[in-house]
Amino acid sequence: MSTTTDLPVPTTAAASAVSDRPTVWRHGLAAAAGASVVTTTLAAIASAAGVSFADGTGVSLPVLAFTQLTFVFSMIGVGLAAVLARRARRPRSTFVRTTLALAGLSVVPDATFGFDVASALTLMALHAVAAAIVIPVLARRLARRASVPA
């Protein structure tokens, strides 16, 4: 027995474009998880190679902190993408510009918290790796221009 559902069918090009594009949440969650795994793995390799990740007070970042922080900040990016998808005139370019600026600012603590050179450079590289994974995935989910209501 087959059943049919009477779902509304989009009648405008704008509605069709929106319905064809999956939400950023599912892809963002996957990108955040992937970035978390990659940065944690790279941090573990760097730690095994002798990078201390110790700040000026001698306190080291635990390797699992990379998982947690990458995931949390990636999900903040997902939330930003979701908001811009609904509110920005040019969601994709606004998201890319904003997140690249935020990624650039995210390395400031690495340079100023008293990490040794190897730790600071590794942390900066890990920020870039996470951004390189998450930003393109989310940007592809966003429209170039906001749809115009009919």
- Is 18 contained in some domain? no
User: Whole-prediction pTM value?
Assistant: 0.81
Q: Kindly state the greatest CA–CA separation across the chain.
A: 70
- Is 54 contained in some domain? yes
Which tops the pLDDT comparison, 121 or 13? 121
pLDDT at 23: 80
- Is 131 contained in some domain? yes
- Is 17 contained in some domain? no
Q: Which of 63, 72, 71 is nearest to 122 (CA)?
A: 63
For residue 108, give the 3-state DSSP assignment. Answer: helix
Residue 1 has pLDDT above 60, yes or no: no
Instruction: Domain of residue 75: give its range.
Output: 23-141
pLDDT at 45: 98
The average confidence (pLDDT) of the chain is 87
Distance, in Å, from the CA atom of 47 to the CA atom of 63, rounded to the nearest integer, reads: 8
Q: What is the mean pLDDT of residues 59-69?
A: 96
- pLDDT bracket for residue 22 (50, 70, 90): low
